[in-house]
Structure 1
């Protein structure tokens, strides 16, 4: 799977990728509304070469981890950030299988990873890692394709969610705080419907 994404990042300009946004406006809004201190620990799952890390650094957040399957995507982000890349922890790996430290993060952000997990087993592995790595009282901000979104992305099948269904799948340990809908306009001019959900983790 990593090879699939490495190929996308290696053969296309970032601004040509369907998920590209100059700034992740909805994500930034929900992160800021969480009201976390600037020294809180934030992980961006599937961050790739997204500009979220740039914008978080610009806002003064000090402890950011970016995790992605694609080392090529992370390398692009590091080159873009230049010297600032040293302020960030970078992890190339699969969030469903790697071992993250226990109760390490105050906020877990995921824009468009979870909807690629089409098997119940991979969703279970993702959620097990999430529950282990997020501190009790921590925040989960997750964005997926909405019920009206596409059924495939980048040649791969996806699962579409409504807010109630997403809340059911992530589990009762997570209390829904807020949800947003977004019509994402791709660089090719297509529209993709997303939902964003902000949860607080009540602990196991």
Structure 2
């Protein structure tokens, strides 16, 4: 049976049109730029966490990536993505899971998060998120994490959020991750509003002494 967090997000994705949610992007341009900057081969394993009904898997398939997984707490959100992708969605693995409770069963080259970490406001949930990332991401892999900047929104979708900069995110990941780039950017919502985001790109060291 879904818990309160799952029920909240299933309600969002079953009662609002895809283009009506504030985080909607027809083309995830910034995410794609950051992924391209990693220089990964087309068979690299990419995981998009907190994916919702994002169009990122569509874009990754169009760019020739062949090993893609998307994870979200909402089965309703992933069902929308699966329906939209049609036959091409057979190349995508769909994972319904709560990141605060998830135990990865796959190894990845790139972890992408465009706005789920900031919803994990409890320290134990954020620690569980970081643990899942470290379990899934192999040495030399990349972590792309974006969320509300320190001067961004304090609430989203009826929930409080924890705003953070690259230093806070880096401290959560730990010393084995090196920050490659960080910048702030405004996201324009479908309703015309603006939300201030911070985008970060980290790389996991090949060894603790590297």
- In which range does the TM-score fall when normalised by the shorter chain? over 0.9
Corresponding position: 1:119 with 2:122: yes
Counterpart mapping for 1:57-72 below 5 A: 57-72=61-76
- What's the C-alpha RMSD, in Å, of the aligned pairs? 1.1
Q: Secondary structure at the match of 2:10?
A: helix
Distance 1:173 1:144 in 2: 21
2:17 alignment partner in structure 1: 13
In structure 1, what is the equivalent of residue 177 of structure 2? Answer: 174
1:2 to 6, 10, 32: 6
TM-score (norm 2): 0.94
The separation in 1 between residues aligned to 2:8 and 2:160, in whole angstroms, is: 13
Match of 1:83 in 2: 87
Structure 1 residue 170, shift from structure 2 partner:
2.1
Partner SS for 2:175:
coil
Name the CA distance, whole Å, in 2 between partners of 1:18 and 1:191: 9
Deviations 1:131-187 (A, max 9, x none): 011001100000010011100000000011122222222221110001122100111
Q: 2:200 aligns with which of 169, 179, 197?
A: 197
3-state SS of paired residue (1:48)? coil
Deviation at 1:190, TM superposition (A): 1.3
SS, match of residue 20 in structure 1 = coil
* Partner deviation per Cα, 1:75-123 (whole Å, 9 max, x = no partner): 0001111101111000011112122126x00000001000011111001
Q: Aligned with 2:104: secondary structure?
A: coil
Match in the other structure for 2:37: 33
In structure 2, the residue matched to 1:144 is: 147
Greater alpha carbon shift after TM alignment, 18-27 vs 59-68: 18-27
Deviation at 1:73, TM superposition (A): 0.4
Aligned: 1:97 with 2:101: yes
Structure 1 segments of 4+ aligned residues over 6 angstroms from their partners: none
Uncovered stretches (5+) of structure 2, i.e. residues with no partner: none
Map 1:156-167; keep pairs closer than 5 Å.
Answer: 156-167=159-170
Partners of 1:90 and 1:192 lie apart in 2 by 28
